Structure 1
Amino acid sequence: MRARRSIAGILALVGAGVATVSVALALVLAPLLGSPLLAGLVAVAAGLLLSMWAMRRAVRPVLSLFRALAGTTLSYRDGDFSFGLRWPHRDELGDLVAAHNELGGVLREQRLALVQRELLLDTMVQNTPVAMLLVADGGHVVYANLAARRLLNDGRKIEGLALEALVQAAPSALAEALARGGDGLFSVGEGEEEDVYHLARRGFRLNGRPHELLLLRQLTTELRRQEVQTWKKVIRVISHELNNSLAPVASLAHSGAELTRRGQTEKLEAIFAMIEERARHLEGFIRGYARFAKLPTPRLEATPWTVLVDRLRSQISFGLDGELPPGSVRVDVPQMEQALLNLLKNAHESGSTAEDVQLRVRRGGGVLRIEVLDRGTGMGEAVLANALVPFYSTKRSGTGLGLALAREIAEAHGGRIGLSNRDGGGLQVSLVLPVADD
């Protein structure tokens, strides 16, 4: 291994050599010129020329190295990390070159890893069934995956094309979904050929300019699978309820026939009463399903809060937590009455005392919150997660439609419903509606 040297030591040796040569030249020229001063001046001039030549010779490789460093640095700036440098000496410049080459190696590895990740990401994006389009502020598509090309341009490239032109050639349902703004569902086709899509839109800034990402996901298969599961559950619930009602009716009818044959008519009145009770229960059960399946579009009308509360109190007892808002509220009164009645009945059946079942109405933040409160047993995490699912019930005789119907009514009014356990026990059910007060 070659010994390490120092640039400062080399320059010192060059300077010492030039000085030695200058002194020796002055000593040689002094007798010849007959003047020590003139010999010294000649020696100094010669030393300067010699030092310039020596320094130029010593610095020439360093200058070449600096030019090479500048070139590779510009290449790194442009994203080309394939260049490296070589310096044959073990000195400070050698350390600089080694560090520079090590930096280039690290950048090459990072670029390779980045390229691999980009390739993986592009492969995933291109092969996902979700159609993805990145649209610039001017309305032109700057990126689209294969699913988007198949959906909007028969598989041909659409980058650079105007989104408006693509939408005009697409089904009208897509144009209507985009015109509505925000996320939403839309259907393409009819009958067995109908496909359901979910449109999601997200805006962000890329390189300082606004862009919008459009995601179009086909939900037909998932919806049909869920539809089949829902129908199976509906059939199981209806079959169970029909069997629970028809089996006793058949048994009672047989008993009534036997009593009639024997002439023992004194028990027929009780038998007929039980048959009537089971028939009315079954009628109410079927009516509840029909009401859930045929919920009409809400007909909003301005109704004073006191009128709505009085209608509820005529059917069930509850207290008020706080004051009612002044004025009126625009809702479909029969639907909202049915939703709140279902929630209040659930509160009474939760194990809460009648005094702890309360209704609270609050307004703020652009929304109206109608809350039903109780001090019952509350709900476990599993029940909270499924309570709003149609036909889900933890009651032996429950249909699982009360909360589901309330949810349908809230969403038909443009709102939502939420459930949470209260501190100290009990449940809070909140109907959150957009403010539409007179």
Structure 2
Amino acid sequence: MTDETFDSSERKRLEKQYNEVTVLAGGLAHEVRNPLSTISMNLELLLEELEAFDSPAAHRMLQKVKTIQTQCDNLDQVLEAFLQFTRAGELHLERMNLEDVMNQFLEFYKAEAEEHGIDVRPHFQSDIPPVFLDVRLIQQVLTNLVRNAQEAMPSGGLLELQTSCRDNNVVLEIIDTGCGMSPEALDKMFHVFFSTKPAGSGLGLPTVRKIVEAHGGTIDCESELNRGTKFTLVFPIDRADQK
């Protein structure tokens, strides 16, 4: 057996192992979510009953129930992020023009950008060849990266979205003028469950990377504190267009 054959066999074994763990973890998340929904529903009913009583004891109980309800909501968000992560490799590909996908996203994001003082400047290279994309998952990638950029610019700022064609690949760059990341955060940003946000799940960027890599692409990041951040996503061009 050659080294190449061994590497291929080992990679397939690890991929199978990873897929099994992902399926099990996704099933576990669903099992946790079902009773959590029941708990949340009963908390809502309990809140309605407590609000009918006007006493110091009822007010204290009401605050405690609201605290539990908040934690249930947080747990539900973590479970949703985890389920998105487990499903990120399941692609339904269509031959698409990336500019069309970007314009669709920007139309959706326009009002939110204005609300947060974000100046969005798209720069799309014309005549870029199509690529195979899962539109729903790419929209998820864009939402995650743009929202991260928005959070890095709490007082507003500039967000540039650029597309180009390089070395038989379509390249998308997302550049913000936000607070940037430290070298330590930049090094760990794609690690599962790592987050610099107090309430972050630590699954957003790992999910983004998983989606991009499932498309046969790559994602890189450059960032500097107080200077901003640039994400570079690279997708392979539909090879049929080059024949």
* Common fold: TM-score over 0.5: yes
Cα displacement (A) at 1:404:
0.8
Counterpart position of 2:80: 287
Q: Which residue in 1 is equivalent to 2:221?
A: 419
Indicate the residue corresponding to 1:343 in structure 2.
145
Return closer, same or farther for 1:366/1:279 CA change in 2, 3 Å cut-off: same
% identical aligned pairs: 22
Secondary structure (helix, strand or coil) at the match of 1:395 reads coil
CA gap of 1:281–1:362, structure 2 versus 1, over 3 A, is: same
What CA deviation, in whole Å up to 9, does each residue of 1:2-25 have, x standing for no partner?
A: xxxxxxxxxxxxxxxxxxxxxxxx
Q: How much does 1:312 deviate?
A: 1.0
Aligned to 2:117: none
d(CA) in 2 for partners of 1:386, 1:331: 27
Query: Is the Cα–Cα contact under 8 Å of residues 422 and 428 in structure 1 kept in the other structure?
Result: no
The root-mean-square deviation of aligned C-alpha atoms, in Å, is 4.3
Aligned amino acid, residue 93 of structure 2: L
Match of 2:132 among 310, 330, 338: 330
Name the CA distance, whole Å, in 2 between partners of 1:337 and 1:392: 22
Per-residue CA deviations over 1:207-252 (Å, capped at 9, x if unaligned) read xxxxxxxxxxxxx9xx9xxx9xxx9xxx9xx9xxx9xxx89x96x8
In the alignment, the residues of structure 2 paired with residue 398 and residue 385 of structure 1 have an alpha-carbon distance, to the nearest angstrom, of 17
Contact map agreement 1:325 1:362 (CA 8 A) in 2: no
After superposition, residues 248-327 of structure 1 pair within 5 angstroms as 257-262=49-54, 282-316=75-109, 317=113, 318-327=120-129
- What is the CA distance between 1:293 and its match in structure 2? 1.4
CA contact (8 A) 2:131 2:235 kept: no
Gaps of 5+ in 2: 114-119
Letter in 2 for 1:338: Q
Change (3 A) 1:389 1:280: same
The 3 A distance-change label for structure 1 pair 282 and 176 is closer
Q: Deviations over 1:59-103 (max 9, x none)?
A: xxxxxxxxxxxxxxxxxxxxxxxxxxxxxxxxxxxxxxxxxxxxx
In the alignment, the residues of structure 1 paired with residue 192 and residue 219 of structure 2 have an alpha-carbon distance, to the nearest angstrom, of 14
Distance in 1, Cα, partners of 2:155 & 2:231: 17
Aligned partner of residue 399 in structure 1, secondary structure: coil
Give the whole-Å Cα distance in 1 for the aligned partners of 2:70 and 2:107. Answer: 24
Superposition pairs for residues 338-417 of structure 1, below 5 Å? Answer: 338-351=140-153, 354-417=156-219
Q: Secondary structure at the match of 1:392?
A: coil
Report the counterpart of residue 8 of structure 2 in structure 1.
177
* Structure 1 residues 424 and 361: alpha-carbon distance in aligned structure 2, compared to 1, 3 A threshold: farther
Structure 1: 4+ residue segments shifted above 6 A? 252-255, 270-278
Give the Å deviation of 1:364. Answer: 1.0
Q: Distance in 2 between matches of 1:323 and 1:352?
A: 29
- Deviation of 1:366 (Å): 2.5
Residue type of the alignment partner of 1:364: R
Where in structure 2 are the equivalents of 1:157-236 lying within 5 Å?
Answer: 163=1, 177=8, 185-187=11-13, 196=14
| CA offsets 1:285-340 (integer angstroms, 9 cap, x no match) | 32221111122432221223342022211332432135354453321111111112
SS of residue matched to 1:409: helix
TM-score with structure 1 setting the length: 0.40
Considering only CA atoms, is the larger Rg found in Structure 1 or Structure 2?
1
Q: How many residues align?
A: 208
SS in 1 for 2:207: helix
| 8 Å CA contact retained: 1:370, 1:431 | yes
Report the TM-score when normalising by structure 2.
0.67
Q: Aligned partners of 1:326, 1:419: CA distance in 2, in Å?
A: 23
Cα distance in 1 for partners of 2:173, 2:133 equals 16
Q: Is the 8 A contact 2:131 2:236 kept in 1?
A: no
The question of whether the paired residues in 2 share the 8 Å contact of 1:352 and 1:426 is answered with no
Cα 1:376–1:340 change in 2 (3 A) is same
Secondary structure at 1:393 match in 2: coil
CA separation of 1:258 and 1:299: change in aligned 2, threshold 3 A: closer
Contact preservation (8 Å) 1:370, 1:432? yes
Task: Determine the C-alpha separation between the residues in 2 that align with 1:328 and 1:175.
Answer: 35
Give the counterpart letter for 1:186 in structure 2. K
Structure 1 Cα separation of the partners of residues 169 and 183 of structure 2 = 27
Q: Is the 8 A contact 2:209 2:218 kept in 1?
A: yes
Q: Which amino acid aligns with 1:283?
A: D
SS at match of 2:219: strand
Shift in CA distance, 354/330, structure 1 to aligned 2, threshold 3 Å: farther
Whether the 8 Å CA contact 1:357–1:372 is kept in 2: the answer is yes
